[in-house]
Copies of this chain bind each other. A is one copy, B any other.
Protein backbone atom coordinates (compact mmCIF):
# COMPACT_ATOMS: atom_id res chain seq x y z
CA UNK A 1 0.00 0.00 0.00
CA UNK A 2 2.29 2.75 -1.21
CA UNK A 3 -0.03 4.28 -3.79
CA UNK A 4 -1.68 7.68 -3.26
CA UNK A 5 -4.70 8.00 -5.53
CA UNK A 6 -5.50 11.55 -6.65
CA UNK A 7 -7.88 13.57 -8.76
CA UNK A 8 -5.95 16.40 -10.42
CA UNK A 9 -7.31 19.57 -11.97
CA UNK A 10 -6.87 18.83 -15.68
CA UNK A 11 -8.32 22.00 -17.18
CA UNK A 12 -10.03 25.15 -16.00
CA UNK A 13 -13.79 24.86 -16.34
CA UNK A 14 -15.99 26.87 -18.66
CA UNK A 15 -19.64 26.40 -17.88
CA UNK A 16 -20.77 23.55 -15.64
CA UNK A 17 -17.89 21.89 -13.84
CA UNK A 18 -17.78 18.13 -14.22
CA UNK A 19 -15.64 15.00 -14.35
CA UNK A 20 -14.10 16.16 -17.65
CA UNK A 21 -12.24 18.91 -15.77
CA UNK A 22 -10.30 16.38 -13.69
CA UNK A 23 -7.80 13.61 -14.28
CA UNK A 24 -7.18 10.49 -12.19
CA UNK A 25 -3.58 9.89 -11.16
CA UNK A 26 -1.51 7.73 -8.84
CA UNK A 27 1.58 8.86 -7.01
CA UNK A 28 3.63 7.75 -4.04
CA UNK A 29 2.48 8.40 -0.51
CA UNK A 30 4.18 11.61 0.70
CA UNK A 31 6.60 11.56 3.64
CA UNK A 32 6.02 13.81 6.67
CA UNK A 33 8.94 15.80 8.06
CA UNK A 34 9.54 16.90 11.62
CA UNK A 35 6.44 18.66 13.00
CA UNK A 36 4.23 17.10 10.38
CA UNK A 37 1.85 14.16 10.31
CA UNK A 38 0.67 11.83 7.56
CA UNK A 39 -3.13 11.73 7.33
CA UNK A 40 -5.23 9.15 5.52
CA UNK A 41 -8.34 10.97 4.27
CA UNK A 42 -11.63 9.28 5.16
CA UNK A 43 -14.26 11.91 4.32
CA UNK A 44 -14.03 14.74 1.79
CA UNK A 45 -15.99 17.96 2.10
CA UNK A 46 -17.68 19.50 -0.97
CA UNK A 47 -18.30 23.23 -0.95
CA UNK A 48 -19.74 25.62 -3.56
CA UNK A 49 -16.62 27.80 -3.35
CA UNK A 50 -14.55 24.99 -4.87
CA UNK A 51 -15.77 25.96 -8.35
CA UNK A 52 -14.22 29.40 -7.80
CA UNK A 53 -10.87 27.94 -6.73
CA UNK A 54 -10.60 26.31 -10.16
CA UNK A 55 -10.61 29.65 -11.98
CA UNK A 56 -7.40 31.60 -12.53
CA UNK A 57 -8.23 34.89 -10.86
CA UNK A 58 -7.21 36.67 -7.72
CA UNK A 59 -9.38 35.76 -4.75
CA UNK A 60 -9.03 35.02 -1.06
CA UNK A 61 -7.11 31.82 -1.88
CA UNK A 62 -4.80 31.21 -4.85
CA UNK A 63 -6.35 29.16 -7.66
CA UNK A 64 -5.65 25.44 -7.78
CA UNK A 65 -2.88 24.89 -10.33
CA UNK A 66 -3.41 22.72 -13.39
CA UNK A 67 -1.98 19.26 -12.67
CA UNK A 68 -2.31 19.64 -8.91
CA UNK A 69 -4.80 17.69 -6.76
CA UNK A 70 -8.06 19.57 -6.25
CA UNK A 71 -8.24 21.44 -2.96
CA UNK A 72 -10.81 20.19 -0.45
CA UNK A 73 -11.42 20.00 3.26
CA UNK A 74 -11.30 16.54 4.82
CA UNK A 75 -11.45 14.45 7.94
CA UNK A 76 -8.90 11.68 8.17
CA UNK A 77 -6.85 9.52 10.49
CA UNK A 78 -3.23 10.14 11.53
CA UNK A 79 -1.20 7.16 10.37
CA UNK A 80 2.27 8.54 11.03
CA UNK A 81 3.18 11.39 13.36
CA UNK A 82 6.28 13.54 13.76
CA UNK A 83 4.41 16.03 15.93
CA UNK A 84 4.09 15.46 19.67
CA UNK A 85 0.55 16.86 19.70
CA UNK A 86 -0.78 14.11 17.42
CA UNK A 87 -0.83 10.33 17.83
CA UNK A 88 -1.34 7.60 15.30
CA UNK A 89 -5.08 6.91 15.19
CA UNK A 90 -6.18 10.46 15.95
CA UNK A 91 -9.10 11.71 13.83
CA UNK A 92 -8.20 15.12 12.41
CA UNK A 93 -9.66 17.82 10.16
CA UNK A 94 -7.38 19.39 7.57
CA UNK A 95 -7.12 20.42 3.92
CA UNK A 96 -6.82 16.93 2.51
CA UNK A 97 -7.21 17.61 -1.19
CA UNK A 98 -8.74 15.00 -3.50
CA UNK A 99 -6.37 12.19 -2.61
CA UNK A 100 -5.91 9.32 -0.17
CA UNK A 101 -3.01 10.76 1.80
CA UNK A 102 -1.89 14.23 2.79
CA UNK A 103 0.97 15.61 4.85
CA UNK A 104 -0.33 18.25 7.25
CA UNK A 105 0.75 20.39 10.18
CA UNK A 106 -1.02 22.79 12.55
CA UNK A 107 -1.29 26.30 11.15
CA UNK A 108 -0.43 25.27 7.59
CA UNK A 109 -2.81 25.42 4.65
CA UNK A 110 -6.21 27.10 4.68
CA UNK A 111 -7.59 24.80 7.40
CA UNK A 112 -4.50 23.91 9.40
CA UNK A 113 -4.76 20.63 11.32
CA UNK A 114 -7.07 20.09 14.28
CA UNK A 115 -8.11 17.03 16.25
CA UNK A 116 -11.79 16.14 16.37
CA UNK A 117 -13.12 16.82 19.88
CA UNK A 118 -14.19 13.73 21.84
CA UNK A 119 -17.58 12.46 20.74
CA UNK A 120 -17.60 14.43 17.50
CA UNK A 121 -18.13 12.35 14.35
CA UNK A 122 -16.51 13.19 11.01
CA UNK A 123 -19.96 14.06 9.65
CA UNK A 124 -20.54 16.52 12.48
CA UNK A 125 -17.05 17.97 12.19
CA UNK A 126 -17.43 18.60 8.47
CA UNK A 127 -20.91 20.13 8.73
CA UNK A 128 -22.17 21.94 11.78
CA UNK A 129 -18.68 22.33 13.32
CA UNK A 130 -17.00 22.88 9.96
CA UNK A 131 -16.95 25.58 7.32
CA UNK A 132 -20.70 25.65 6.75
CA UNK A 133 -21.58 25.81 10.44
CA UNK A 134 -19.01 28.54 11.07
CA UNK A 135 -20.08 30.42 7.94
CA UNK A 136 -23.69 30.42 9.09
CA UNK A 137 -22.74 31.39 12.64
CA UNK A 138 -20.40 34.30 11.89
CA UNK A 139 -22.10 35.44 8.68
CA UNK A 140 -25.51 35.64 10.26
CA UNK A 141 -24.55 36.97 13.67
CA UNK A 142 -21.65 39.30 12.76
CA UNK A 143 -22.73 40.61 9.36
CA UNK A 144 -26.50 40.09 9.51
CA UNK A 145 -26.87 41.11 13.15
CA UNK A 146 -30.41 39.76 13.52
CA UNK A 147 -32.54 40.94 16.43
CA UNK A 148 -35.35 38.96 18.03
CA UNK A 149 -38.61 39.60 16.24
CA UNK A 150 -36.99 40.42 12.92
CA UNK A 151 -37.56 38.49 9.70
CA UNK A 152 -34.61 36.59 8.24
CA UNK A 153 -34.76 35.42 4.61
CA UNK A 154 -32.31 32.72 3.47
CA UNK A 155 -31.57 31.53 -0.05
CA UNK A 156 -30.01 28.14 -0.68
CA UNK A 157 -31.88 27.27 2.49
CA UNK A 158 -31.62 23.49 2.15
CA UNK A 159 -27.89 23.65 1.62
CA UNK A 160 -25.73 23.11 4.66
CA UNK A 161 -24.97 26.77 5.34
CA UNK A 162 -28.52 27.89 4.62
CA UNK A 163 -30.10 25.31 6.90
CA UNK A 164 -27.86 26.39 9.78
CA UNK A 165 -28.54 30.08 9.12
CA UNK A 166 -32.28 29.53 9.42
CA UNK A 167 -32.02 27.43 12.55
CA UNK A 168 -29.65 29.86 14.28
CA UNK A 169 -31.97 32.71 13.37
CA UNK A 170 -34.84 30.78 14.99
CA UNK A 171 -32.72 30.28 18.12
CA UNK A 172 -32.20 34.05 18.17
CA UNK A 173 -35.96 34.66 18.09
CA UNK A 174 -36.38 35.61 14.44
CA UNK A 175 -39.08 34.67 11.97
CA UNK A 176 -37.35 32.63 9.25
CA UNK A 177 -38.30 32.26 5.58
CA UNK A 178 -36.24 29.94 3.38
CA UNK A 179 -35.90 29.68 -0.39
CA UNK A 180 -35.04 26.23 -1.78
CA UNK A 181 -35.59 24.14 -4.89
CA UNK A 182 -38.22 21.42 -4.99
CA UNK A 183 -40.91 20.05 -2.66
CA UNK A 184 -38.64 17.59 -0.82
CA UNK A 185 -36.22 20.26 0.34
CA UNK A 186 -39.06 22.62 1.23
CA UNK A 187 -40.86 19.96 3.26
CA UNK A 188 -37.67 19.11 5.12
CA UNK A 189 -37.02 22.77 5.94
CA UNK A 190 -40.50 23.29 7.34
CA UNK A 191 -41.15 19.98 9.04
CA UNK A 192 -37.69 19.07 10.27
CA UNK A 193 -35.55 22.20 10.37
CA UNK A 194 -38.34 24.36 11.80
CA UNK A 195 -38.44 27.18 9.25
CA UNK A 196 -41.56 29.36 9.53
CA UNK A 197 -42.14 29.44 5.79
CA UNK A 198 -40.45 28.11 2.67
CA UNK A 199 -40.51 29.21 -0.97
CA UNK A 200 -39.92 26.63 -3.72
CA UNK A 201 -38.09 28.65 -6.36
CA UNK A 202 -38.50 25.88 -8.93
CA UNK A 203 -42.28 25.91 -8.68
CA UNK A 204 -43.31 29.27 -7.25
CA UNK A 205 -43.03 32.99 -8.11
CA UNK A 206 -40.24 33.94 -5.72
CA UNK A 207 -40.99 37.66 -5.74
CA UNK A 208 -44.69 37.18 -5.00
CA UNK A 209 -43.97 34.56 -2.35
CA UNK A 210 -41.47 36.77 -0.55
CA UNK A 211 -44.15 39.46 -0.44
CA UNK A 212 -46.61 36.88 0.89
CA UNK A 213 -44.36 35.34 3.54
CA UNK A 214 -42.64 38.60 4.58
CA UNK A 215 -45.60 40.96 5.03
CA UNK A 216 -43.32 43.34 6.96
CA UNK A 217 -40.44 42.79 4.47
CA UNK A 218 -37.18 41.26 5.64
CA UNK A 219 -34.51 42.63 7.94
CA UNK A 220 -31.73 40.19 7.08
CA UNK A 221 -31.23 38.39 3.77
CA UNK A 222 -28.57 35.72 3.90
CA UNK A 223 -27.76 35.13 0.24
CA UNK A 224 -26.03 31.97 -0.91
CA UNK A 225 -27.37 32.14 -4.44
CA UNK A 226 -27.27 35.58 -6.12
CA UNK A 227 -28.82 36.16 -9.54
CA UNK A 228 -32.59 36.51 -9.98
CA UNK A 229 -33.29 35.43 -6.39
CA UNK A 230 -31.16 38.28 -5.05
CA UNK A 231 -33.03 40.69 -7.32
CA UNK A 232 -36.40 39.39 -6.15
CA UNK A 233 -35.32 39.72 -2.53
CA UNK A 234 -34.20 43.33 -3.03
CA UNK A 235 -37.79 44.26 -3.87
CA UNK A 236 -38.69 43.56 -0.24
CA UNK A 237 -35.94 45.29 1.72
CA UNK A 238 -36.97 46.72 5.05
CA UNK A 239 -35.55 49.96 6.43
CA UNK A 240 -31.93 49.50 7.58
CA UNK A 241 -31.89 45.85 6.57
CA UNK A 242 -28.73 43.82 5.95
CA UNK A 243 -27.79 41.55 3.06
CA UNK A 244 -25.13 38.98 3.91
CA UNK A 245 -23.34 38.23 0.64
CA UNK A 246 -22.14 34.74 1.42
CA UNK A 247 -22.03 33.32 -2.10
CA UNK A 248 -23.74 33.33 -5.46
CA UNK A 249 -23.87 29.68 -6.51
CA UNK A 250 -26.38 30.47 -9.26
CA UNK A 251 -23.58 32.11 -11.24
CA UNK A 252 -20.55 29.96 -10.45
CA UNK A 253 -20.90 27.84 -13.59
CA UNK A 254 -21.89 30.65 -15.95
CA UNK A 255 -19.85 31.03 -19.12
CA UNK A 256 -20.01 34.83 -19.05
CA UNK A 257 -21.00 37.73 -16.80
CA UNK A 258 -24.54 37.55 -15.44
CA UNK A 259 -26.37 40.85 -14.98
CA UNK A 260 -26.72 41.91 -11.37
CA UNK A 261 -29.87 43.11 -9.65
CA UNK A 262 -31.53 46.05 -11.41
CA UNK A 263 -32.94 47.34 -8.13
CA UNK A 264 -29.89 48.23 -6.05
CA UNK A 265 -31.51 51.65 -5.60
CA UNK A 266 -33.80 49.94 -3.09
CA UNK A 267 -30.75 49.75 -0.83
CA UNK A 268 -30.38 53.52 -1.02
CA UNK A 269 -34.03 54.33 -0.39
CA UNK A 270 -34.11 51.94 2.57
CA UNK A 271 -30.69 52.84 4.00
CA UNK A 272 -29.81 49.17 3.69
CA UNK A 273 -26.42 47.48 3.70
CA UNK A 274 -24.97 44.66 1.62
CA UNK A 275 -21.75 43.15 2.85
CA UNK A 276 -19.50 40.36 1.74
CA UNK A 277 -17.54 38.13 4.04
CA UNK A 278 -15.13 35.22 3.89
CA UNK A 279 -15.17 32.71 6.71
CA UNK A 280 -11.37 32.35 6.80
CA UNK A 281 -11.26 35.77 8.50
CA UNK A 282 -13.10 34.29 11.47
CA UNK A 283 -11.02 31.14 11.95
CA UNK A 284 -9.16 32.62 14.96
CA UNK A 285 -12.57 32.83 16.67
CA UNK A 286 -13.70 29.36 15.58
CA UNK A 287 -13.75 27.82 19.07
CA UNK A 288 -16.23 30.42 20.27
CA UNK A 289 -18.64 29.29 17.54
CA UNK A 290 -17.88 25.58 17.96
CA UNK A 291 -18.77 25.70 21.64
CA UNK A 292 -22.08 27.42 21.03
CA UNK A 293 -22.93 25.21 18.04
CA UNK A 294 -22.17 22.03 20.01
CA UNK A 295 -24.41 23.28 22.78
CA UNK A 296 -27.29 23.83 20.38
CA UNK A 297 -26.78 20.40 18.82
CA UNK A 298 -26.75 18.76 22.27
CA UNK A 299 -29.95 20.52 23.30
CA UNK A 300 -31.66 19.49 20.06
CA UNK A 301 -32.12 23.09 18.87
CA UNK A 302 -29.85 22.61 15.89
CA UNK A 303 -29.90 19.62 13.57
CA UNK A 304 -27.42 18.84 10.83
CA UNK A 305 -28.20 16.91 7.70
CA UNK A 306 -25.52 15.17 5.65
CA UNK A 307 -25.77 13.98 2.05
CA UNK A 308 -23.19 11.19 2.14
CA UNK A 309 -21.88 9.68 -1.09
CA UNK A 310 -19.26 6.93 -1.30
CA UNK A 311 -16.29 5.92 -3.45
CA UNK A 312 -13.07 7.58 -4.54
CA UNK A 313 -14.08 7.20 -8.18
CA UNK A 314 -17.15 9.38 -7.56
CA UNK A 315 -15.27 12.46 -6.36
CA UNK A 316 -15.67 14.63 -9.49
CA UNK A 317 -19.33 13.71 -9.97
CA UNK A 318 -20.07 14.48 -6.34
CA UNK A 319 -18.83 18.05 -6.76
CA UNK A 320 -21.33 18.55 -9.55
CA UNK A 321 -24.20 17.60 -7.22
CA UNK A 322 -23.80 20.97 -5.47
CA UNK A 323 -24.38 23.04 -8.61
CA UNK A 324 -27.20 20.82 -9.80
CA UNK A 325 -28.91 21.40 -6.46
CA UNK A 326 -29.05 17.66 -5.74
CA UNK A 327 -27.76 17.78 -2.17
CA UNK A 328 -29.99 18.19 0.84
CA UNK A 329 -27.66 19.36 3.58
CA UNK A 330 -23.90 19.03 3.69
CA UNK A 331 -22.36 17.18 0.73
CA UNK A 332 -19.75 14.67 1.89
CA UNK A 333 -18.08 11.67 0.30
CA UNK A 334 -16.53 8.74 2.11
CA UNK A 335 -13.39 7.47 0.40
CA UNK A 336 -12.16 5.01 3.02
CA UNK A 337 -13.43 3.30 6.16
Contact = CB atoms under 8 A, between A and B. Distances in A.
A284 to B, nearest CB: 15
Contact of A245 (B246, B259, B268): B268
The interface centre, meaning the residue of A59, A271, A277 with most chain B CB atoms within 10 A of its CB, is: A271
Chain A contact residues: over half helix, strand or loop, or mixed?
Answer: loop
Interface string A58-72: 011000000000000
B262 A269 contact: no
A270 interface: yes
A276 interface: yes
Contact of A277 (B230, B263, B271): B271
Contact of A270 (B231, B257, B268, B276): B276
A330 to B, nearest CB: 20
A264 interface: yes
Nearest to A252: B265
B263 A257 contact: yes
A226 B262 CA distance: 10
Nearest to A245: B268
B274 A273 contact: yes
A272 B60 CA distance: 13
B276 A248 contact: no
Contacts of A267: 245, 274-276
Contacts of A266: 276
Contact of A265 (B248, B271, B273): B248
A112 interface: no
The size bracket of the interface on A is: 20 to 34
B262 A257 contact: yes
A164 B59 CA distance: 34
Given A260-B263, A262-B257, A273-B275, A268 B246 contact: yes
Residue of A263, A264, A267, A281 most packed against chain B (CB within 10 A) = A264
B257 A260 contact: no
A178 interface: no
B59 A264 contact: no
Contacts of A162: none
A328 to B, nearest CB: 24
26 contacts: A59-B269, A60-B269, A230-B264, A245-B267, A247-B268, A248-B264, A251-B265, A259-B259, A260-B260, A260-B261, A260-B262, A260-B264, A261-B264, A267-B274, A268-B277, A269-B278, A270-B276, A271-B276, A271-B277, A271-B278, A271-B281, A272-B275, A272-B276, A273-B273, A274-B274, A274-B275
